[in-house]
Amino acid sequence: MKSFKNYMPSFLYGFSFCILLLFLLQQGILFFSIDKDQKSNENILTFQKIEDMYNLILDTYYEPVDTAELLNSMLETMLNNVDFHTTYIPYQDHLRQSEEMSGNFYGIGIQFSLFKDTIVVVRVLPDGPAQSTPLLAGDRITHVDGKEITGPNIKNELVLNTLRGDKGTNVKLTILNSSKEIKEISLNRGEIPLHSISSSYFINPNIGYIKIDKFSSTTYSEFIDHTNNLINKGAEKLILDLRGNTGGYLDQAVAITEELLEKGLGIVSVKGQYRNEIIYKSNYNGQLSNFPLVVIIDEGSASASEILAGAIQDNGRGEIVGRPSFGKGLVGEEFSLGDGSVLRLTVARYFTPSGRCIQKEMENDYNYSYDTSNYEDYFLNNIDSTKIFKTLDGDTVFGGGGIYPDYFIQPEFMSNSVSSFFTENLDKIDELTFQFIDLNRARYSSTKEGFENLIIDNKNNLISMISSDLDEYDNFSNIEKDEIYLQLEVLTARNFLSTKEFVYFVNNNDSAYLKSINLLNSEL
């Protein structure tokens, strides 16, 4: 017979699980036909079986079971028969995601990398708590509050959880600097902004460039600040880069789109089985409504990014350049499950102003083909050519398969031999490029000019490091070696430059970016 002590955890977890199931039923999340008594009784019996199985596992399994892990797996299994955008998010994961989307967190203000099982400071962030301390790029953090934080078990998540904390709380760091001196640094955690716009800059003679990485709660206000700055510098045209932007908050995407449109134009409509239709339109002439505009997208542009790009394309407002977008035409909402965890549930579809839903059908997987001979055909096959729509200026667009660009830019790929070289040796190459930066960090500023000087002065040293540690390098042809070096430059720049400077560096040789400039200079 169970003792009361042993029975209570089982009862509480089982009871909580049943409460969760009842909540899901009330929200219309479980698609059971509960109007019929027979079906309702079957569902109740099924819930009872789930609880019985859970109790049996806890009480009779041959070894201890992690109850939290078991419950999480049950919740995740429940979602196998709905779209994969509907997900259960445990408390800790949701906490981290909420920080990312809120636009700030409390920490010490550094960008770090893990190198040889040690935290290495890559950059001290401006205006953060660490800026007023002796902490410098290249320093190794060995202890936090007296506790060693090195070794093979150290992971990014552990570092983040250790360095972040409540506002104003004190943290003591032990560091090993480039001179092999051990120092103690004490500082208080402060607010660290998480910018959703990673880069913006002015391009002569009159073009502004803005890259939006996600649509967080601060994106619209960031966008206004960046555009005002560009206008003050003389910008009269705009490139909006949404590549790799997987989406975010709908209201932020709508607000930015409104700044790009004239009054009265459609932006998006949203409708679901349990959601009344909501139609979003521009309520005023946007600040940038008269700016010639190019939006750059790729297969990583999804959801809110596609809403913005779709509104621009359907209203004939600007040109879309790049590669077809991801194809997520669904809207999700988060439902709290009481313990900090949430259910992110798909509740509606959205439709662009022309009336199309760009959702890629579920049977079409989301793994993209990288065969240069059929890359464009792959996306065309995902478009539903039976669903034909017209943009405001009369162009034909299709439903399904994402947003197809007005100007398709073929992706640039490494040769198979060079791709294999990087795939097989990526960890070692990362280590070598990091060592290269470490050896030269003190002599060059972390600006694009500093990076250019670093590469000019030390190109042969970088190649020598790769050649010495990776024997197969010497077997490549000169053309392949040139290709390898270009990739080494990018890897080095990623670890040396700020995000803004890195975006500028990569864009200089980017086909979609250069095409966008040419279009704007040719007066769209």
Quote the CA–CA distance of 222 and 228 in Å, as a whole number: 10
Please identify which of the residues 314, 360, 498, 515 carries the catalytic annotation. Answer: 314
Across the beta sheet with 197-203, the strand order is 197-203, 207-212, 237-241, 293-297, 319-322, 407-408
Please identify which of the residues 282, 303, 305, 498 carries the catalytic annotation. Answer: 303
354 part of the active site: no
Please identify which of the residues 211, 237, 328, 448 carries the catalytic annotation. Answer: 328
Of 196, 205, 250, nearest to 224 (Cα)? 196
Given the DSSP bridges, would you call strands 104-107 and 190-193 parallel, antiparallel or unpaired?
antiparallel
**Chain centroid offset of residue 450 CA:** 28
314 part of the active site: yes
Phi-psi region of 303 (alpha: psi -120 to 50; beta: other; left: phi over 0): left
Q: How much of the chain is in helix, strand and coil states, percent to nearest 5?
A: 45, 25, 35
500 part of the active site: no
Tell me if 199 sits within 8 A of 209, measured CB to CB: yes
For CA atoms 377, 381, 386, 389, give the dihedral sign: negative
37 C-beta neighbours (distance < 10 Å), count: 8
Quote the CA–CA distance of 175 and 141 in Å, as a whole number: 4
Quote the CA–CA distance of 181 and 177 in Å, as a whole number: 5
502: helix, strand or coil: helix
Quote the CA–CA distance of 487 and 252 in Å, as a whole number: 35
| Range list of H helices, 409-508 | 416-440, 448-469, 478-496, 499-507
172 C-beta neighbours (distance < 10 Å), count: 13
Active site residues per annotation? 303, 314, 328
